[in-house]
Amino acid sequence: MTTDLADLLGDRESTVLGFKQSASSRDKIGQAICAFANDLCGRGGGDLLIGVDDKGEPVLNVRTGDEELRRLTDYRDSGQILDRPSMTVETAVFKGGTVIRVHVEASATPPVRYDGVVWVRPGPTTRRATREDERVLAERRRAFDGPFDGRSTPGSTLDDLDMTLFRSTYLPSVVSPEVIEENGRPEALQLASLRMADLTGTPTVLGLLVLGFNPSGFIPGAYLQFVRYDGAGQDAPIADDQELRVNVVDLAGRLDPLLRGHLHTQVVEEEGFRERQRPDYPFAALREACMNAVMHRNYETSYAPIRVLWFADRIEITNPGGPYGQVRPDNFDRVSDFRNPSLAAAMKSLGYVNRFGRGIGRIQASLAGNGNPPAEFLVDDSSWSVTLRRAE
Question: CA-to-CA distance for 202 and 161, rounded, in angstroms?
Answer: 10
* Model confidence pLDDT, tens digit, residues 118-148: 999 999 999 999 888 888 887 777 666 678 8
181 & 302 share domain: no
Band of residue 29 on the pLDDT scale cut at 50, 70, 90: very high
How many Cα atoms within 13 Å fall on the side-chain side of residue 281? 26
239 & 385 share domain: yes
Count of structural domains, the chain = 3
Residue 355 clears pLDDT 70, i.e. is over it: no
270 & 383 share domain: yes
Does residue 139 lie within any of the structural domains? Answer: no
- Tell me the whole-structure pTM to 2 decimals: 0.71
Average pLDDT, the chain: 89
Distances in whole angstroms, Cα of residue 267 to Cα of each of 57, 273, 276: 65, 12, 6
Residue 189 clears pLDDT 80, i.e. is over it: yes
Residue of 269 and 175 predicted with greater confidence: 175
* Model confidence pLDDT, tens digit, residues 259-301: 999 999 887 766 655 667 889 999 999 999 999 999 989 998 8
187 & 158 share domain: yes
* Model confidence pLDDT, tens digit, residues 312-331: 999 999 999 887 777 777 77
Helix axes 359-370, 283-296, angle to 10 degrees: 160
Band of residue 90 on the pLDDT scale cut at 50, 70, 90: very high
Q: Which domain holds residue 104?
A: 5-127
Residue 335 clears pLDDT 70, i.e. is over it: no
Question: Could you say which of 75, 99, 127 is where a domain stops?
Answer: 127
Q: Supply angle C-alpha 92, 94, 98, rounded to 5.
A: 55
156 & 110 share domain: no
Give the model's pLDDT for residue 299. 93
Give the model's pLDDT for residue 333. 66
User: What DSSP state is assigned to residue 170?
Assistant: I
Of 53, 36, 43, 51, which Cα lies nearest the Cα of 103? 36
192: helix, strand or coil: helix
Question: Could you say which of 97, 127, 157 is where a domain stops?
Answer: 127
Does residue 141 lie within any of the structural domains? Answer: no
φ, ψ for residue 371 (rounded to 5)?
90, 15
Question: CA-to-CA distance for 229 and 127, rounded, in angstroms?
Answer: 56
Identify each DSSP E strand in the chain by its residue range.
17-20, 45-50, 81-82, 87-94, 97-105, 113-114, 117-120, 127-128, 224-229, 238-244, 265-270, 274-279, 306-310, 314-320, 376-379, 383-389
Residue 364 clears pLDDT 60, i.e. is over it: yes
316 & 368 share domain: yes
Distances in whole angstroms, Cα of residue 378 to Cα of each of 62, 321, 328, 382, 386: 45, 12, 12, 11, 6
